[in-house]
Amino acid sequence: MAIIPFLRSGRTSLRPIRLRDSRELERELIDNRGWLREWEATNPRGPLSWDTKGSIRALQSNARAGLGLPFIIEVDGRLAGQLNVSGISWGSMSSATIGYWIGERFAGAGATPTGVALATDYVFQQMGLHRMEICIRPENQKSLRVVEKLGFRYEGLRRRYIHINNDWRDHFCFALVAEEVPEGVLARWENGLVPAEAARIPDADRAAAATRFPDA
């Protein structure tokens, strides 16, 4: 079972998601439909039902199995979004991935990069995992700024990787391994030690992502 910690830096906190968050989460998601719809995962076989409590239960079950860490992002104590560490693989891979969303009114507060840094540091330093991955759509400039700020290293283009907003979407893949950040992701960022070119995307990959896939 993965222990879901309480993590904090400045105005930003990560805490375990709870069933009683469902109503406030639903309200936040409804209020931010226009802001979030373009980046929402969808089901290629039909519409996903909106069951916030069921989603929370699934995330908690995944955590009990040691496969995920589902967090609420808070800014100044207010629910601002979600951050999920998922796909935890133990043993020889010792890796995980991060996904997140944040409400529009909290954008620009530094909550997303702080949350990603806090979660990655916990995964590396407390759980002993080795690699953290983030995959981002080429059009999502705000999320691309997150990996630039934190120095996640660009690893490549994944064509038509995830079904987002009713179509298969290309994603840029970024990652860090624990040896790259012995001081911690958050400390490296706060101390201005992030390598300037770590998240740089080659022009060829940008051009490929701007070209429609042959069968799209």
Per-residue confidence (pLDDT) for residue 38, from 0 to 100: 77
- And the tokens for 180? 């790259």
The verdict on domain 7-209 having CATH code 3.40.50.300 is no
- And the tokens for 202? 């080659």
Per-residue confidence (pLDDT) for residue 10, from 0 to 100: 95
SS3 readout for the chain: CCCCCCEEECCEEEEECCHHHHHHHHHHHHHCHHHHHHHCECCCCCCCCCCHHHHHHHHHHHHHCCCCEEEEEEECCEEEEEEEEEEEECCCCCEEEEEEEECHHHCCCCHHHHHHHHHHHHHHHCCCCCEEEEEECCCCHHHHHHHHHHCCEEEEEEEEEEEECCEEEEEEEEEEEHHHCCCCHHHHHHCCCCCCCCCCCCHHHHHHHCCCCCCC
- Per-residue pLDDT of 21-39, as tens digits, reads 999 999 998 888 878 777 7
Per-residue confidence (pLDDT) for residue 37, from 0 to 100: 74
Per-residue confidence (pLDDT) for residue 32, from 0 to 100: 84
Residue numbers of the chain with a pLDDT score lower than 70:
1-2, 46-50, 214-216
Per-residue confidence (pLDDT) for residue 216, from 0 to 100: 53
- Per-residue pLDDT of 166-199, as tens digits, reads 789 999 999 999 999 999 999 999 999 999 899 9
